[in-house]
Amino acid sequence: MAINVKPIPRKVQVPTTKKPAVQIPAQSSASNYSAADGFARARAINEKRQRDFEARKFRPIEFNAKVGEGGINGVTVILTDNTRAPNLPYFHYCHRWGFEQGNPQTEVCIQDDPEGCPLCRKLNRKGSYEMVLTCIDTRPFTYKAGPNMGKTVQRSTKPYVVKTSMIPQFERLYRAHKTFRGMVLKVFRDNQKSPSSGSSVEFVRMLSEAELGKYGDLAKPLDYKKAYPRMDAATMARTYEADTGEGGTLGSADFASGAKNDALPF
Ligand SMILES: [Zn+2]
């Protein structure tokens, strides 16, 4: 009895062709894993859980509008980025996947790294280009997790992610007003396929610093490097190649429909 059978690399199971997936020969009594592989896998799963936990602990909840929310008034947001500062607004490439599995995940894409992006290779798709702004969301918001779980706030500060298709609208607003800071917008989301940060926006007015001051700390732009930490290629490879399919990680469904998932405009 061969007890040294290695686990199949998950990508072998991707149904990208019509060929039948490679199967491990059936075994009646022994595990498919050697002792060393079995223990190593458990360690990898535990380490991955811990990393996911750490990453999510600080990951801010992004602004997200429901289809048709707010009717003809849309959802009102106040942008707070002081885009007269250097290196703002903030742009990055980002991978988003797992929506269909009910476990959305976000990771900054490092496709501009000389070593390339391990997650691009794994998902077989490049991360999409986004502009990240900070908004004051004027809707009451109840925390579903974390230290504030169950607490409802009347307003909250959130990342406002502008997808590539929406960036030209924001570029026009930026050129017209020279900054996003204090910009009040009505956000409309027309359908399920349109970005969760809205498929169109309507300019309302600019707030002065005195008016923004009434919002206190809520009017502070986010620290994007903290909110969206960037892994180096080695760490990313370790993180996602140690992936075992354990809850919330990359599964074969992600590979099979990776392009579709990543194309979702969230
Ligand atoms: Zn990538």
Chain segment 229-253, per-residue pLDDT in tens: 999 998 888 888 754 444 444 443 3
Nearest CA to 14 among 212, 258, 255?
255
How far is ligand 1, taken at its centre, from the CA of residue 240, in Å? 12
How far is ligand 1, taken at its centre, from the CA of residue 113, in Å? 9
* Mean pLDDT (whole number) for 86-94: 86
Taken in order 259, 200, 212, 140, the sign of the CA dihedral is negative
Question: Would the pTM of this model clear 0.75, i.e. be above it?
Answer: no
Asked if the model's pLDDT at residue 20 lies above 60, the reply is no
* Mean pLDDT (whole number) for 122-132: 95
Q: Is the Cβ–Cβ distance between 47 and 152 less than 8 Å?
A: no
Ligand 1 ion: Cβ-proximal residues, 5 Å cutoff: 109, 111, 117, 119-120, 127
Asked if the model's pLDDT at residue 152 lies above 90, the reply is yes
How far is ligand 1, taken at its centre, from the CA of residue 254, in Å? 14
- Both tokens of residue 168? 């030209």
* Mean pLDDT (whole number) for 167-171: 95
How far is ligand 1, taken at its centre, from the CA of residue 87, in Å? 22
Which residue is listed with tokens 């280009």?
129
pLDDT in tens, 176-213: 999 999 999 999 999 988 999 999 999 999 999 999 99
* Residue ranges with strand state E in the chain: 75-79, 90-97, 105-108, 128-137, 141-142, 152-153, 156-163, 183-188, 200-206
Higher-confidence position of 265 and 160 = 160
Q: Which residues contact 140 (CB under 8 A, 6 or more apart)?
A: 152, 153, 154, 155
How far is ligand 1, taken at its centre, from the CA of residue 59, in Å? 19
Higher-confidence position of 34 and 146 = 34
Q: Is the Cβ–Cβ distance between 233 and 117 less than 8 Å?
A: yes
What separation in angstroms does the CA of 231 have from each of 46, 114, 260?
20, 13, 24
- Both tokens of residue 62? 């992004």
pLDDT of residue 198: 95
Q: Which residues contact 85 (CB under 8 A, 6 or more apart)?
A: none
Secondary structure (3-state) at 186: strand
Q: Is the Cβ–Cβ distance between 142 and 61 less than 8 Å?
A: no
How far is ligand 1, taken at its centre, from the CA of residue 121, in Å? 7
Cα 184 to Cα 204: distance, rounded to the nearest angstrom: 5
Secondary structure (3-state) at 249: coil
Cα 201 to Cα 195: distance, rounded to the nearest angstrom: 12
Among 2-6, 120-124, 183-187, which stretch is predicted with the lowest mean pLDDT? 2-6
How far is ligand 1, taken at its centre, from the CA of residue 74, in Å? 33
How far is ligand 1, taken at its centre, from the CA of residue 108, in Å? 7
Burial class (CB in 10 A: 0-12, 13-18, 19+), 50: exposed
Q: Give percent of the chain above pLDDT 90.
A: 50
pLDDT of residue 2: 46
How far is ligand 1, taken at its centre, from the CA of residue 237, in Å? 11
Secondary structure (3-state) at 248: coil
Asked if the model's pLDDT at residue 228 lies above 80, the reply is yes
Cα 158 to Cα 52: distance, rounded to the nearest angstrom: 20
Taken in order 70, 141, 60, 56, the sign of the CA dihedral is negative
Rounded to the nearest integer, the mean pLDDT of the chain is 80
Nearest CA to 227 among 136, 150, 141, 134?
134
